[in-house]
Structure 1
């Protein structure tokens, strides 16, 4: 762009309260001027209008406000930009509290304008903290270490005792399994014996009548009850006799042992 074009463009620059505006006729005039650049040279200075009444800081704040397109509240935008939320001072009662100001100083430092001395506990707070620690943590570090050692030892002793108990029970497991199998075998044998005895009694009742009879018949049931009663009596007698035989064998064994213990010793040859 030639020097003439630059000068003509400056004619249409106007500084007002709303900022810098460029006339729509700028481009057309620039084209015209370029055509007549060799014939005419206009050195008229640009028209600059400046409001001297407006303060520089106020103007800067106004321009910054226009540039802010986030639509955030000033305090929120300040927080987003890492600045103090309320640089002009507190706007609510909560902004005057000790907790808020301590947090403000902790985040923004000296830029917050908060006196750093408020971050230290007061005498009342220190007394309350000491009282809390005395009640909440009444034991010294050495005492707590000793208590933890005792608790740990008690847990280890309990684990050791349980392991020994498990090992002892595992040693008896084979005997318990043998006893269980013996009980199961005896139960099965008793069940088979009862079934065989029932079948035998039914067969005896049928032989008694001499013909096939329905087991639901009343005569059959009566005779079966009689046979069962006789069988129970016979079993009772057999158990009684077996018990007497065991007692007799025990007495004979005791008598032999007593006779052997009281037998005089043979005289030794000199």
Structure 2
């Protein structure tokens, strides 16, 4: 294959080639080099090889190795150490062109790893057994948790009912306290003759006196009930006395 070239000169006089001037333009002065390639063997189909054809058809603008990886082909590497070779074989298998026998650890490497395991502690089999035991324990915990969730879900309706009942009880108690508070304020208004606030010291003093009076009345009532039970016990001439009226069972 050979290449020939000729010089074209474009000047203000025109196009010149081989000392012959062809008038074209009046304002340009450009030098052009025209190359022409021809084949001396007579067969133009052998000019391009497979790589050139592949580069021509590759319009992805990817690098050659990225293009090969995209088409599941191993990349071309100028230098490959053992780690690179193992990675290539693990990714592409026999298509990587690597010898699997050379990728296996040497006997010395295996002995060194075994010695390292002994120095670190437990051997590999024991560690694998420990890992398996940990997995079983995690699975057991997961099953127990699911069992607990199912048990709680079975009691969900009961708990919801209890919660609603408790909420209603709390609301009822709050309503009763509010009604009692309003009744006490109304009583204080009638006692003092004017509307009084709940945090007024006079109202708080009245509440303390009222509570003390209620305690005395409750204690007096309890004592009367006790005396009544004792009188009922003593008034029975026969031995048929109720257990609730026995002196030993009377609360002091």
Q: TM-score, normalised by structure 2?
A: 0.48
Greater Rg over alpha carbons, structure: 1
Q: Which has the higher strand share?
A: 2
The higher-RCO structure (CA 8 Å, 6+ apart) is: 1
